[in-house]
């Protein structure tokens, strides 16, 4: 199976996940599904399974079917299996009606098991909804880019029925306008021309498939598809956020805190941006809202605040420490010195930390963002990029440019202003968000 077919399958599967969840919960938007809806749904589906199972059992007994497995499809087999595993309360009760003296302590034991199995059952429902929510957020956050870039791409396939120089010129323009980056585009067009020659491609519609295929190759480039956040094996995981003013550092910290708090982790925010008036208060507020601890003082040396904050994080056995910094790129030498100092104090408190230094870039600033990434890369060791405000731009091609021109993995992507709109970067969801209408 070719790469394009794989992408097509992937997109189809993702569409199905979202549709299935929407149908099941009878909602327009997956994001409207609340925790309690999931529990209700889990309860209902468990009852349904028990009923089905009972009906099946009766049928089996009545008809004496020898190998019923062959007659039911995969889904039903799954359901049947999980019913067996789940040993639902209702059945236990029924059984004990028949067998009244067979007995209470058994009941209690199986209650514990039931609790655990029930939790797992709910969990499987939750992960499905989570998956659908992720897909939907990418879908919405990339809408502008999709509308611009992909619709132009399909129009191109309609306008030209032959692949010629004019076609390539226009394609080049579309890609540059989507902020894929001039160098990336040049390389890309060269590769595409080669392939067109080698494979004797003349059909522009087929070429669209090749284009998607090649864009995907630029990003993947033999690397793993998701770049996970490096979590410390022991002690607090320290994540340092850098980037120029206004790109979304503080809000990103809030969103990251929200994510880890939801996973049940303890979080502390440290206000290393001690320069901008109100910056400390702004972070403090986010800490309160996300149920995170806070450490910060105004008008002091950031390295000092970070040093003290980390000590407190260690003493309080905090899982995740998020450090905000001031981003002043005006003076590279000063910023370099300051970050060096910050890194030193972090390492002194927690050897090996920071575990991540994330550079926050505003996707709407396009090539300017790429320049920032290049500059910061010279100043300090950046381990990942957070690309914010993707929802506000039609130029979502910047992800590809970053990969190709800066070669630092995008770890988070900001797809909107809500707390849940920051997602771990997932190339498959990104591809889905961009190309779902093309297939
Ligand atoms: N639409 C959108 N707005 C964002 C996103 N991330 C941040 N913002 C907005 O960007 C503005 C600046 O954010 P802030 O965190 O204060 O930037 P900082 O100066 O780098 O700390 C705020 O109005 C945020 O709401 C995003 O992913 N999408
Ligand atoms: Mg800030």
Pairing of strands 293-295, 267-272: parallel
CA of 336 to the centre of ligand 2 (A): 19
**CB 373, CB 408: distance < 8 Å:** yes
Rounded Cα gap, residues 236 and 318, in angstroms: 6
Distance from the first to the final alpha carbon of the chain: 16
Across the chain, which distance is largest between two alpha carbons, in Å? 86
CA of 248 to the centre of ligand 2 (A): 7
SS3 411: strand
CA of 415 to the centre of ligand 2 (A): 18
Handedness of CA 12, 13, 15, 19 (dihedral sign): positive
Residue 110 CA, distance from chain mean position: 37
CA of 249 to the centre of ligand 2 (A): 5
CA of 26 to the centre of ligand 1 (A): 33
pLDDT tens for each residue of the chain, 439 residues long: 567 787 888 889 999 999 999 999 999 999 999 888 898 888 888 888 888 888 877 877 777 655 555 545 554 444 444 444 444 444 444 444 444 444 555 566 677 777 888 888 888 999 999 999 999 999 999 999 998 888 888 888 888 888 889 999 999 999 888 888 888 889 889 989 999 999 998 888 788 888 888 877 777 764 544 578 999 999 999 999 999 999 999 999 999 999 999 999 999 999 998 877 788 999 999 999 999 999 998 778 899 999 999 999 999 999 999 999 987 777 788 888 999 999 999 999 999 999 999 999 999 998 899 999 999 999 999 999 999 999 999 888 888 888 888 989 999 999 999 999 999 998 889 888 988 887 6
Task: Establish how many alpha carbons lie within 13 A of residue 135's alpha carbon, considering only the half-sphere containing its beta carbon.
Answer: 25
Out of 248, 372, 421, give the residue to mutate to test ligand 1, the one with the largest number of ligand atoms within 8 Å of its CB.
248
Q: What lines the ligand 1 site, CB under 6 Å?
A: 243, 245-251, 388-389, 391-392, 414, 416-417, 421
pLDDT tens-digit readout, 317-353: 999 999 999 877 777 888 889 999 999 999 999 999 9
Among protein residues, the one with the nearest Cα to ligand 1's atom 10 is: 248
- Which ligand 1 atom is the nearest neighbour of the CA of 253? 15
Rounded Cα gap, residues 427 and 283, in angstroms: 30
pLDDT tens-digit readout, 92-123: 444 444 444 445 555 666 777 778 888 888 88
**CB 303, CB 275: distance < 8 Å:** no
User: 100: Cβ–Cβ under 8 A, 6 or more apart, which residues?
Assistant: none
Q: Cis before residue 228, ω within 30 degrees of 0?
A: no
- Which ligand 1 atom is the nearest neighbour of the CA of 273? 21
Rounded Cα gap, residues 149 and 272, in angstroms: 39
The domain ranges of the chain are 31-131
pLDDT at site 69: 53
Residue 79 CA, distance from chain mean position: 29
SS3 322: strand
pTM: 0.82
Out of 417, 420, 421, 433, give the residue to mutate to test ligand 1, the one with the largest number of ligand atoms within 8 Å of its CB.
417
- Which ligand 1 atom is the nearest neighbour of the CA of 421? 27
CA of 196 to the centre of ligand 1 (A): 42
Rounded Cα gap, residues 377 and 78, in angstroms: 50
Please give the order of strands across the beta sheet that includes 237-242.
Answer: 293-295, 267-272, 320-325, 237-242, 356-362, 384-388, 410-414, 422-424
Ligand that lies nearest to the alpha carbon of residue 248, given by its number in the listed order: 1
- Hunting for tokens 């901008």 — which residue is that? 276
**CB 313, CB 236: distance < 8 Å:** yes
pLDDT at site 246: 92
What is the percent of the chain with per-residue pLDDT over 70, rounded to a whole number? 86
CA of 277 to the centre of ligand 2 (A): 10
- Which ligand 1 atom is the nearest neighbour of the CA of 324? 21
pLDDT at site 163: 86
Ligand that lies nearest to the alpha carbon of residue 283, given by its number in the listed order: 2
- How far is CA 212 from each of CA 7, 16, 132, 219, rounded to the nearest angstrom? 9, 21, 23, 11
| Residue among 402, 408, 378 nearest 183 (CA) | 402
Rounded Cα gap, residues 143 and 12, in angstroms: 18
Rounded Cα gap, residues 198 and 160, in angstroms: 20
């Amino acid at each position: 199976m070719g790469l394009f077919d794989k992408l097509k399958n992937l997109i189809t599967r993702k569409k199905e996940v979202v549709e299935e969840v929407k149908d099941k919960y009878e909602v327009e938007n997956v994001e409207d599904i609340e925790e309690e809806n999931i529990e209700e749904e889990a309860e209902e589906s468990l009852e349904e399974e028990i009923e089905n199972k009972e009906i099946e059992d009766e049928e089996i007994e009545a008809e004496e079917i020898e190998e019923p497995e062959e007659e039911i499809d995969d889904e039903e087999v799954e359901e049947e299996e999980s019913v067996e595993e789940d040993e639902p309360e209702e059945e236990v009760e029924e059984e004990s009606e028949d067998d009244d003296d067979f007995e209470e302590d058994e009941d209690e034991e199986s209650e514990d098991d039931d609790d655990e199995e029930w939790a797992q059952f709910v969990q499987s429902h939750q992960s499905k909804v989570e998956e659908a929510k992720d897909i939907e957020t990418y879908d919405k956050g990339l809408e502008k880019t999709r509308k611009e870039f992909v619709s132009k791409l399909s129009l191109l396939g309609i306008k030209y029925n032959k692949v010629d120089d004019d076609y390539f010129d226009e394609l080049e323009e579309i890609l540059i306008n989507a902020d894929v980056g001039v160098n990336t585009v040049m390389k890309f067009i060269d590769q595409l021309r080669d392939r067109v020659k080698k494979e004797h491609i003349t059909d522009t519609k087929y070429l669209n498939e090749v284009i998607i295929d090649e864009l995907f190759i630029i990003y993947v480039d033999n690397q793993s598809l998701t770049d996970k956040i490096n979590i410390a094996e022991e002690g607090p995981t320290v994540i340092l956020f850098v980037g120029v003013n206004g790109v979304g550092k503080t809000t990103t910290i809030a969103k990251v805190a929200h994510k880890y708090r939801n996973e049940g982790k303890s979080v502390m925010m440290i206000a290393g941006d001690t320069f901008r008036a109100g910056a400390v208060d702004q972070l403090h507020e986010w800490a309160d809202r996300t149920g995170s601890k806070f450490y910060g003082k105004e008008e002091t040396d950031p390295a000092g605040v970070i040093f003290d904050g980390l000590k407190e994080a260690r003493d309080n056995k905090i899982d995740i420490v998020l450090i905000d910094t001031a981003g002043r790129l005006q003076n590279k030498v000063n910023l370099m010195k300051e970050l060096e100092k910050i890194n030193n104090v972090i390492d002194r408190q927690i050897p090996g930390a920071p575990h991540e230094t994330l550079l926050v870039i505003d996707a709407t600033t396009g090539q300017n963002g790429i320049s920032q990434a290049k500059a910061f890369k010279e100043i300090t060791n950046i381990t990942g990029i957070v690309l914010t405000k993707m929802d506000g731009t039609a130029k979502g091609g910047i992800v590809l440019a970053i990969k190709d021109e800066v070669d630092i993995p995008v770890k988070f992507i900001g797809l909107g202003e809500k707390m849940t709109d920051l997602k771990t970067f997932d190339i498959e969801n990104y591809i889905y968000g961009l190309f779902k209408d093309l297939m």
